[in-house]
Amino acid sequence: MDLGAITKYSALHAKPNGLILQYGTAGFRTKAEHLDHVMFRMGLLAVLRSKQTKSTIGVMVTASHNPEEDNGVKLVDPLGEMLAPSWEEHATCLANAEEQDMQRVLIDISEKEAVNLQQDAFVVIGRDTRPSSEKLSQSVIDGVTVLGGQFHDYGLLTTPQLHYMVYCRNTGGRYGKATIEGYYQKLSKAFVELTKQASCSGDEYRSLKVDCANGIGALKLREMEHYFSQGLSVQLFNDGSKGKLNHLCGADFVKSHQKPPQGMEIKSNERCCSFDGDADRIVYYYHDADGHFHLIDGDKIATLISSFLKELLVEIGESLNIGVVQTAYANGSSTRYLEEVMKVPVYCTKTGVKHLHHKAQEFDIGVYFEANGHGTALFSTAVEMKIKQSAEQLEDKKRKAAKMLENIIDLFNQAAGDAISDMLVIEAILALKGLTVQQWDALYTDLPNRQLKVQVADRRVISTTDAERQAVTPPGLQEAINDLVKKYKLSRAFVRPSGTEDVVRVYAEADSQGSRLVVWIFIIWPLHILLKVCAKPGQS
Ligand code: G16
C-alpha cells in the first residue's frame, strides 16, 4: 500500500470538517456536495474488499429514490449482493476518519480482514443520471487507482444492472454475459419465450405505460425495448426529457402518496407502472371505471409471483419449499392472504433489501418484496438444476411447465430487485394466466393505510426491535402507539428512523371501514405530534 500516494490523493478529496455519515439502509446518502471524500474512500475500500474476496466488487453511485440534489454510494459484494455487515462498519469508519487517521484506518481494516495486499483487485462502477453522479464516480475511480486496483467503468446503469454485472463476472459468465447487451438478451429471450406460450396475447396484454421517474430506467428501457417488443410494447413517461428526478413521479411518490405520477395520462383500466430513480423498484396501478386510483404494490407483486410459481410446481409435480419475505410495511391483508389462503410461510425482516435477500436465500425458492416495490425471487442452485433436467425429461404437459419455470428463473434478476426484470416477469405472468390488472388487484383488499415522513431534531433517539415493529426508545413511545391502535380492528402502527433520509417514518393501517382518513387523523397525526415532542437531541 503506497501510503504516501493515498495521503496525497486523499487531500484532493478532503473530508468536510465535522461531517459524520453512516453506511445506512442502502449505503451512504446525503447532499451530493458532501460526498466527494466518501466516494474516494469507497474506491479504496472496494479495492480492499476485492483483494480479500479475490473477486470483482461493484460500486454504484446513486441515491435511488432520494431527491435529485442528493447522491449516494453503495458497494456490491461478489454474488451481486449488498455489502457484508462487517464491511459496512469498515465503510462507516473509513468515511468518517479524519485525514490524519486515514492511513491507520486502512491498515486496521486490512489487518482485521486479513487482506493480502499483493492480491490483484478489480472493481466495476456504475452511476445513475443525477447531475452530480459523473464527477462523483470519477472520485471512486481515483480511490481505486491510487490503491493499485484495476477497474471497468460501465457509466450509466440502473442499480440492478450493476449488481447483475458483478454476479456475471464472479460466476465466470455462468449467470450471464457481463455486458449491457448480455443483460438485455438474457432477459428478453426468456420473456419472449414465455409470452409465446400465452394464449391471451391481445392488445390488453401487449401494452403498458411506464413512469420512469425521470431517471436511468427511461434510458435503459428505451435501449432494451426492441429486444422484447414482440411480447410487449411500452409507452414511457417521465423519461427525463423535462422533469426533475423523482419529483412528483416515480415508484416512491406513487406508493407513499397513493396517487398517480404527474405527467402520465391514464384511461380507465389501463395497466400502468412506475420505476424509481435507479430502477430497482416497481409498483403498478390503474384507474377504475369510476376514476378511482388503485395501487398494486410490492405485496401484491409478491403474491402474484409466488402463486404462479406454486402453480407451476404443482404442474411439474415438484414439492419445493417456497417462502415469502416481507417487512413491517407489508399490508396485514397480504400477509394473511399468503399464509391463510395460499398456505405459504411468510417471514418479516428489517427494512432494507439486504435483510430480505439474506432470509430468502434460506428457501428452495425465496420470494422477497418490500411493499415499496423492491424485490425479486431467488432459486437455489439445486432447484435450477432440477428444473433444467425436468424441462428435458418430463412428458409433455409437465415439460411445458418446467420450461416455463426455467424461463421465469432466467427472467428474474437474482442479484437484486430490478424494476425492468420484475416488470417483464409480471407482464409474462399476467399474459400467461390471462389476468387483467383488476383481477390481479382483486386477490385481496388492502387494509387502509398511510405513511408519513416526520422531520425531527434527532432521529437517532428512536430505536426499534422485533424487525422494527416495536419502538424501544424513547421511553413511553411504544405504549403511546399501543394506546392509539387498540381502538381499531386489525390495526397496527410503527415508527422507525429512515436509513436513507433524515426523517422518521411512520406507518399505520387499520380496518377502518375503508377509510384512510381515519388512519390519518386518529393514528398517524397524533404520532406525528408525539414524535416532534419526544425526538429531541440527547434523549436516547
Ligand atoms: C432503499 C433500500 C430499500 C428501502 C428504502 C427505504 O431503497 O434499498 O430496501 O426500503 O431504501 O429505506 P429507509 O426507510 O431506511 O429510508 P432505494 O430504492 O432508495 O435504494
CA 272 to chain centre: 19
301: left (phi over 0), alpha (psi -120 to 50) or beta: alpha
* Alpha helix positions (H), 317-365: 332-336, 353-360
176 versus 389: the higher-pLDDT residue is 176
- How is domain 449-534 classified at the CATH fold level? TATA-Binding Protein (3.30.310)
* Residue 307 marked ligand-binding: no
* Residue 276 marked ligand-binding: yes
DSSP secondary structure letter of residue 24:
B
State the pLDDT at residue 540. 38
State the pLDDT at residue 514. 63
State the pLDDT at residue 391. 83
- The band of 204, judged by pLDDT with boundaries at 50, 70 and 90, is low
**What's the average model confidence in pLDDT over 375-382?**
96
Distances (CA, A) of 45 to 108, 145, 188, 334: 12, 12, 35, 40
DSSP secondary structure letter of residue 344:
-
For atom 20 of ligand 1, the residue with the nearest CA is 64
Top mutation candidate among 374, 451, 496 for ligand 1, by most atoms within 8 Å of CB: 374
Whether residue 539 has pLDDT greater than 50:
no
102 with 10: CB under 8 angstroms?
yes
Atom in ligand 1 nearest the alpha carbon of residue 159? 20
Residue 280 beta carbon below 6 angstroms from any ligand 1 atom: yes
State the pLDDT at residue 116. 97
For residue 73, the CA-to-ligand 1 centroid distance in Å is 13
**What's the average model confidence in pLDDT over 523-531?**
87
For residue 203, the CA-to-ligand 1 centroid distance in Å is 35
Residue 26 beta carbon below 6 angstroms from any ligand 1 atom: yes
State the pLDDT at residue 521. 83
Chain segment 48-95, per-residue pLDDT in tens: 999 999 999 999 999 999 999 999 999 999 999 999 999 999 999 999
State the pLDDT at residue 240. 95
As beta bridge partners, residue 229 has: none
Whether residue 20 has pLDDT greater than 70:
yes
Whole-number Å distance between alpha carbons of 154 and 180: 9
Residue 276 beta carbon below 6 angstroms from any ligand 1 atom: yes
- The band of 253, judged by pLDDT with boundaries at 50, 70 and 90, is very high
Q: Please tell me the number of Cα atoms within 13 Å of 477 on its side-chain side.
A: 28
Chain segment 399-431, per-residue pLDDT in tens: 999 999 999 999 999 999 999 999 999 999 999
Distances (CA, A) of 194 to 411, 424, 433: 9, 10, 11
Going by DSSP bridges, is the β-strand pair 56-61/70-76 parallel, antiparallel, or unpaired?
A: antiparallel
Residues noted as catalytic: 64
Chain segment 333-378, per-residue pLDDT in tens: 999 999 999 999 999 999 999 999 999 999 999 999 999 999 999 9
State the pLDDT at residue 536. 63
Residue 352 beta carbon below 6 angstroms from any ligand 1 atom: yes
CATH number for the region 182-296 comes to: 3.40.120.10
Residue 70 beta carbon below 6 angstroms from any ligand 1 atom: no
- The band of 518, judged by pLDDT with boundaries at 50, 70 and 90, is confident
The whole model's pTM is what?
Answer: 0.95
Atom in ligand 1 nearest the alpha carbon of residue 251? 18
Interface predicted TM-score of the whole assembly (ipTM), two decimals: 0.96
Q: How many C-beta atoms surround the C-beta of residue 318 within 10 A?
A: 18
As beta bridge partners, residue 24 has: 27
Atom in ligand 1 nearest the alpha carbon of residue 62? 20
- 320: amino acid identity, one letter: L
* Residue 372 marked ligand-binding: yes
Whole-number Å distance between alpha carbons of 474 and 478: 8
533 versus 236: the higher-pLDDT residue is 236
Residue 25 beta carbon below 6 angstroms from any ligand 1 atom: yes
Distances (CA, A) of 245 to 55, 70, 131, 289: 33, 11, 10, 31
Top mutation candidate among 25, 463, 502 for ligand 1, by most atoms within 8 Å of CB: 25
Atom in ligand 1 nearest the alpha carbon of residue 280? 18
**What's the average model confidence in pLDDT over 446-473?**
92
* Residue 370 marked ligand-binding: yes
Whether residue 201 has pLDDT greater than 70:
no
For atom 9 of ligand 1, the residue with the nearest CA is 352
Chain segment 234-247, per-residue pLDDT in tens: 999 999 999 999 99
326: nearest Cα among 299, 344, 306: 299
Residue 355 beta carbon below 6 angstroms from any ligand 1 atom: no
62 with 127: CB under 8 angstroms?
yes
Q: Does domain 298-418 have CATH number 3.40.120.10?
A: yes
Q: Would 3-156 and 298-418 be classified into the same CATH topology?
A: yes
- Across the chain, what does the average pLDDT equal? 94
91 with 204: CB under 8 angstroms?
no
- The band of 523, judged by pLDDT with boundaries at 50, 70 and 90, is confident
- 304: amino acid identity, one letter: L
Chain segment 255-272, per-residue pLDDT in tens: 999 999 999 999 999 999
Q: At which residue does the C-alpha cell 474516494 appear?
A: 40
Residue 353 beta carbon below 6 angstroms from any ligand 1 atom: yes
Atom in ligand 1 nearest the alpha carbon of residue 63? 19
State the pLDDT at residue 202. 65
For residue 36, the CA-to-ligand 1 centroid distance in Å is 22
Residue 370 beta carbon below 6 angstroms from any ligand 1 atom: yes
Whole-number Å distance between alpha carbons of 332 and 295: 15
Atom in ligand 1 nearest the alpha carbon of residue 64? 19
* Alpha helix positions (H), 258-380: 298-316, 332-336, 353-360
State the pLDDT at residue 29. 97
* Residue 280 marked ligand-binding: yes
Residue 498 beta carbon below 6 angstroms from any ligand 1 atom: yes
* Residue 104 marked ligand-binding: no
Whole-number Å distance between alpha carbons of 186 and 82: 22
Residue 374 beta carbon below 6 angstroms from any ligand 1 atom: yes
**What's the average model confidence in pLDDT over 504-511?**
93
Whether residue 328 has pLDDT greater than 60:
yes
451 with 505: CB under 8 angstroms?
yes
Whole-number Å distance between alpha carbons of 255 and 291: 18
- 394: amino acid identity, one letter: L
* Residue 371 marked ligand-binding: yes
Distances (CA, A) of 304 to 187, 216, 245, 365, 416: 19, 26, 29, 14, 19
Q: For the chain, how far is it from start to end, CA to CA, in angstroms?
A: 41
For residue 105, the CA-to-ligand 1 centroid distance in Å is 28
* Residue 496 marked ligand-binding: yes
State the pLDDT at residue 538. 47
State the pLDDT at residue 397. 79
Distances (CA, A) of 244 to 418, 464, 502: 22, 34, 21
CATH number for the region 3-156 comes to: 3.40.120.10
State the pLDDT at residue 537. 52
For residue 25, the CA-to-ligand 1 centroid distance in Å is 6
Give the start-to-end residue ranges of the domains of the chain.
Answer: 3-156, 182-296, 298-418, 449-534
For residue 352, the CA-to-ligand 1 centroid distance in Å is 6
For residue 425, the CA-to-ligand 1 centroid distance in Å is 22
For residue 279, the CA-to-ligand 1 centroid distance in Å is 12
